[in-house]
């Protein structure tokens, strides 16, 4: 049997995604009550990080320990992956020793290649195209604080990057309307937009995107791997900073999310980070609970 992978939100059905979120909420509650729950005793998650990480690394590592298993951190700097060993070979070897593999990398196609040769589940811990684990935590956060997101209006302000692409997929899977406001030339990939049809509207004016929205999101203006473009992007994106005043145009129940790390004074104003509508710390914590639900689901398959 081929392993079940989680490279994008489209790898699960809408009902599986809702179940994962509900399970994340249950696991959070068990954890807070101090209940020891170790269904993954002796199970091992390998984690390959070709880009930096705080939240993804710590949440997977802590999550595996809490579930009774272990996680192994692998960096290309000190493995043969960084010296050119083919992805196919690494996939065959790692998946013969470990029970699941999480990968944070640049090219999404590398994840797909790894998954094709892996006997065990492969999890996308962020690629240049997608960050589905973050969306599990974000959807859990919205669900906990506001209930179902179905039929709600969500705004994305800023770069049409990997997080924005993942929100486009989330609009399809969780059935909400997404309005994207981004500068010309920084749109979400056309292929993702096509997949979403009329659930997504592309705009230029952040105020138009945010008006009446129930959830507003942004992310850094220069993602990992775009460091050389950072200065040019600062100028181009200046009108897209999310501030308390911009959020005032949204629905009164609005939540503000950012996957973090945040750059205060760039994509988000410093005041907004401390605004009561901001739920970035809940999102970050929920990475732990949502991914425990994900690993439990994938390893139970
Ligand atoms: N949001 C997120 O994935 O954070 P890290 O880069 O710290 O893992
Ligand atoms: N878009 C950002 C997200 C970081 C979690 C990046 O890819 O760097």
* 128 Cβ closer than 6 Å to some ligand 2 atom: no
Q: How many structural domains is the chain composed of?
A: 2
51 CA: nearest ligand 2 atom:
8
Residue 1 resides in a domain:
no
* 211 Cβ closer than 6 Å to some ligand 2 atom: no
57 CA: nearest ligand 1 atom:
8
Residue 127 lies in domain: 9-131+286-299
CA 223 to ligand 2 centroid distance, Å: 5
Residues 89 and 40 in one domain: yes
Residues 76 and 167 in one domain: no
Give residue-wise pLDDT tens across range 136-182.
Answer: 999 999 999 999 999 999 999 999 999 999 999 999 999 999 999 99
Give residue-wise pLDDT tens across range 15-38.
Answer: 999 999 999 999 999 999 999 999
**Model-wide pTM > 0.85:** yes
Residues 143 and 279 in one domain: yes
| Gyration radius of the chain's alpha carbons | 19
CA 20 to ligand 1 centroid distance, Å: 20
Whether the predicted pLDDT of 92 surpasses 60: yes
226 CA: nearest ligand 2 atom:
8
Residues 105 and 161 in one domain: no
* 130 Cβ closer than 6 Å to some ligand 1 atom: no
Active site residue 277: no
Residues 75 and 203 in one domain: no
Domain holding 30: CATH number?
Answer: 3.40.50.1370
Strand partners, 203: 181
Give residue-wise pLDDT tens across range 255-275.
Answer: 999 999 999 999 999 999 999
Residue 157 resides in a domain:
yes
């Amino acid at each position: 049997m081929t392993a079940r992978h989680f490279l994008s939100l489209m790898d699960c059905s809408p009902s599986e995604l809702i179940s994962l979120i509900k399970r994340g909420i249950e696991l959070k509650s068990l954890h807070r009550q101090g209940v020891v729950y170790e269904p993954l005793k002796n199970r091992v998650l390998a984690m390959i990080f070709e880009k930096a990480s705080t939240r993804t690394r710590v949440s997977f590592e802590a999550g595996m320990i809490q579930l009774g298993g272990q996680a192994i951190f692998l960096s290309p700097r000190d493995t043969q992956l960084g010296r050119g060993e083919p992805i196919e070979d690494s996939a065959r070897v790692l998946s013969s020793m470990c029970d699941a593999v999480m990968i944070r990398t640049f090219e999404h196609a590398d994840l797909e290649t790894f998954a094709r040769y892996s006997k065990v589940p492969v999890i996308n811990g962020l690629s240049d195209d997608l960050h589905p684990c973050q969306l599990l935590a974000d959807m859990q956060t919205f669900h906990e604080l506001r209930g179902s997101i179905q039929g709600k209006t969500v705004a994305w302000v800023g770069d049409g990057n990997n997080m924005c692409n993942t929100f486009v997929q989330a609009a399809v899977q969780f059935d909400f309307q997404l309005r994207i406001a981004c500068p010309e030339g920084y749109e979400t990939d056309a292929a993702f937009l096509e997949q979403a049809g009329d659930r997504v509207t592309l705009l230029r004016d952040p105020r138009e995107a945010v008006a009446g929205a129930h959830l507003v999101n942004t992310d850094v203006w220069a993602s990992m791997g775009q460091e050389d473009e950072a200065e040019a992007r600062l100028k181009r994106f200046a009108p897209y900073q999310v501030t308390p005043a911009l959020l005032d145009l949204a629905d009164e129940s609005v939540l503000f999310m950012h996957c973090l790390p945040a750059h205060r004074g760039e994509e988000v104003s410093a005041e907004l980070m401390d605004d009561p509508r901001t739920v970035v710390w809940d999102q970050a914590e929920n990475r732990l609970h949502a991914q425990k639900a994900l690993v439990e689901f994938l390893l139970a398959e």
